[in-house]
């Protein structure tokens, strides 16, 4: 009888460095890490392409799948296929823009029922904190959600209203009672200036959602954390002007974490054309100088992790109004491209692949409490990616697995290709093809 179900041989990104190794997989787990020529036996013994590095799969903690209810925007089949092709092996789905939103246990069960038969990778779920769900959050926590998302400004969909500052504090106090986690869209509605939006003018759109909207909201969150002791996470940080307050809060020892997203690290306002609503998101992509400050904050640990904030919509919604930023839906569809986009920019700045995988796999897994993934070591899940860091490609939105062919990266040349992806040692994709499309599973909070 073979010792392992699968052996992968090649250069591997291990906790102690990048080196040739053999990885033995048994019963969905990494059972052994040994020398490249280890004399093991397996049902499948594969030598990886010479230009690839075996890495842990990406863990994306910020994904809008939208099913049930808005499956013309995206769905579990298309989203998890896109994830697999992009080297992502775990996603955690946001409570909106599905209908119903994940603010009750029955809504969570509807999400799980929709995802289970379609998942090409592993899928977990966030719950939602809206005014009507306050006082009932423990029920969702006990049902296995990873935490609770809240908005401090209108979410864009009526079924997921935002919290006031007082309601935010109440939510944090409630969640602190069971050591839960609140993740927050941090924009202050009092600072938003919708009247400044001027049709196709991108600069006017940015001016309508100024840095002050983020800095004010983040100050509010920090104050609430200080008073309640609850754990909070800042979603999709765009404005570098908030970094001093975040650094001070962390130095104070407050339980605060922060993410940014691939689009804030790769795009810049100076190169977004007027009318290019494929790049519209909230908070917005800001200046070149701002982008570089976000990279510096990743390097020094002020920003903890990178997640995609994959927020797709139909082409009709994303391109509505013939490029009118006041009409088009805001959100970047980037799940399949997130790893390549970040690696492309990180490599230009002298970062190593280990840094990128750390921000997008190790740190995100730890943030979600998923300590059984995010690194290649004995005992972790065999969620693995053969990543070719030197291969480049031009983004063709029509060839992506996303349900709608709209991409802010269309026409861009990116580096880094996930040649193959394994979930629990089972092949999820190779060269963009999914031979075993439903090898995924559902994940609950540990």
pLDDT in tens, 198-238: 999 999 999 999 999 999 999 999 999 999 999 999 999 99
DSSP secondary structure code for residue 53 in this structure: E
The two tokens of residue 250 are 């962390």
| 420/283 same-domain check | no
| Domain assignment of residue 281, yes or no | yes
Query: Per the domain annotation, does 235 fall within a domain?
Result: yes
Nearest-angstrom CA–CA distance, 405 and 411:
12
Which region among 284-288, 383-387, 436-440 has the lowest average model confidence (pLDDT)?
436-440
* pLDDT of 436 strictly over 90: no
Residues 423 and 346 in one domain: no
- What is the model's pLDDT at position 438? 87
**What pLDDT score was predicted for residue 1?**
67
Concatenating the DSSP letter of every residue in 116-146 gives TTT-SSEEEE-EE--GGGTT-HHHHHHTT--
Where on the phi/psi map is residue 272: left (φ > 0), alpha (ψ -120 to 50), or beta? beta
18 lies in the same domain as 80? no
State the total domains in the chain: 2
Same domain, 176 and 273: yes
Q: Are residues 200 and 223 in the same domain?
A: yes
Cα–Cα distance measured from residue 343 to residue 441, given in angstroms and rounded to the nearest whole number: 27
pLDDT recorded at residue 437: 83
Average pLDDT of the segment spanning 419-429: 98
At residue 443, does pLDDT exceed 90?
yes
In a domain, 405, yes or no: no
Q: Give helix then strand counts, H and E, for the chain.
A: 14, 18
Residue 400 lies in a domain: no
| Residue 263, in any domain of the structure | yes
**175 in any annotated domain:** yes
Number of Cβ within a 10 Å radius of residue 397: 18
Both 334 and 426 in one domain: the answer is no
Q: What is the mean pLDDT of residues 287-316?
A: 98
Tokens of 346: 């990180």
Q: What is the mean predicted confidence (pLDDT) over 294-319? A: 98
Chain segment 95-110, per-residue pLDDT in tens = 999 999 999 999 999 9
Residues 67 and 46 both lie in one domain: no
Do 125 and 192 have their domain in common? yes
- Structure-token pair, residue 268: 């810049």
Domain CATH code at residue 362: 3.20.20.140
Beta strands in 147-219 (DSSP E): 148-151, 181-185
Q: What is the CATH number of the domain that holds 27?
A: 2.30.40.10
Q: Look at residue 204 in the predicted model and tell me its pLDDT.
A: 98
Residue 373 within any structural domain of the chain: no
The DSSP symbol for 100 reads S
Do 231 and 259 belong to one domain?
yes
pTM assigned to the model: 0.98
pLDDT in the model for residue 35: 98
pLDDT at 21 (0 to 100) = 98
- The reply to whether 195 and 280 lie within a common domain is yes
Closest to 360 in 3D by CA, of 418, 312, 305: 305
Mean pLDDT of the chain: 98
pLDDT at 8 over 70: yes
Q: Please indicate, yes or no, whether residues 93 and 106 belong to a single structural domain of this protein.
A: yes
pLDDT for 2 equals 79
Report CA-CA distances (Å) from 225 to 185, 248, 249, 251: 15, 13, 9, 14
Share of the chain above pLDDT 90, in %: 99
For range 288-302, the mean pLDDT: 98
Q: Is the pLDDT of residue 271 over 70?
A: yes
Strands 181-185 and 148-151: parallel
Average pLDDT over residues 170-184: 98
Among 334, 314, 345, 344, residue whose Cα is nearest residue 407: 334
Question: Do 88 and 208 share a domain, yes or no?
Answer: yes
Q: Which residues form the domain of 161?
A: 57-367
Inside any domain, residue 274: yes
């Amino acid at each position: 009888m073979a010792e392992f179900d699968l052996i992968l041989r090649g250069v591997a990104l291990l906790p102690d460095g990048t080196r040739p190794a053999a990885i033995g997989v048994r019963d969905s787990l990494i059972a052994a890490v040994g020398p490249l020529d280890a004399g093991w036996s397996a049902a499948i013994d594969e030598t990886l392409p010479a230009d690839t590095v075996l890495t842990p799969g990406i863990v994306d903690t910020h994904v809008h799948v939208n099913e049930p209810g808005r499956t013309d925007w995206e769905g579990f089949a298309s989203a998890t296929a896109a994830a697999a092709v992009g080297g992502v092996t775990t996603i955690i789905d946001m409570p909106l823009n599905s209908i119903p939103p994940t603010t009750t246990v029955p809504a969570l069960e509807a999400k799980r029922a929709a995802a289970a038969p379609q998942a090409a990778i592993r899928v977990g779920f966030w719950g939602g904190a809206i005014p009507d769900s306050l006082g009932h959050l423990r029920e969702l926590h006990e049902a296995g959600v990873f935490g609770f998302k809240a908005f401090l400004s209108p979410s864009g969909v009526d079924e997921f209203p935002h919290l006031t500052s007082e309601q935010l504090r109440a939510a944090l106090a409630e969640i602190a009672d069971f050591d839960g986690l609140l993740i927050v869209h941090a924009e202050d509605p009092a600072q938003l200036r919708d009247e400044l939006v001027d049709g196709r003018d991108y600069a006017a759109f940015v001016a309508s959602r100024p840095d002050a909207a983020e800095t004010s909201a983040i100050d509010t969150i920090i104050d609430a954390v200080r008073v309640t002791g609850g754990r909070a996470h800042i979603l999709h940080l765009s404005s570098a002007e908030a970094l001093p307050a975040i650094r001070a809060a962390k130095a104070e020892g407050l339980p605060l974490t922060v993410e940014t997203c691939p689009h804030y690290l790769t795009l810049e306002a100076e190169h977004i054309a007027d009318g290019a609503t494929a790049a519209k998101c909230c908070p917005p992509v800001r200046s070149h100088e701002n982008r570089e400050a976000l990279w510096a904050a990743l390097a020094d640990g002020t920003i903890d992790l990178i997640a995609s904030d994959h927020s797709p919509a139909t082409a009709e919604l994303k391109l509505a109004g013939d490029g009118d930023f006041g009409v088009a839906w805001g959100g970047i569809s980037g799940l399949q491209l997130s790893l390549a986009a970040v690696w492309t920019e990180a490599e230009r700045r002298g970062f190593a692949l280990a840094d990128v995988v750390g921000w997008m796999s190790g740190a995100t897994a730890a943030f979600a409490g998923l300590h059984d993934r995010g690194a290649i070591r004995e005992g972790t899940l065999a969620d693995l990616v053969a990543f070719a860091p030197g291969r480049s490609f031009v983004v063709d939105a029509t060839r992506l697995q996303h349900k709608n062919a709209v991409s802010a990266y269309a026409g861009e040349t990116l580096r880094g290709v996930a040649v193959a992806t394994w979930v629990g040692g089972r092949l999820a994709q190779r060269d963009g093809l999914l031979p075993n499309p439903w090898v995924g599973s559902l994940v609950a909070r540990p």
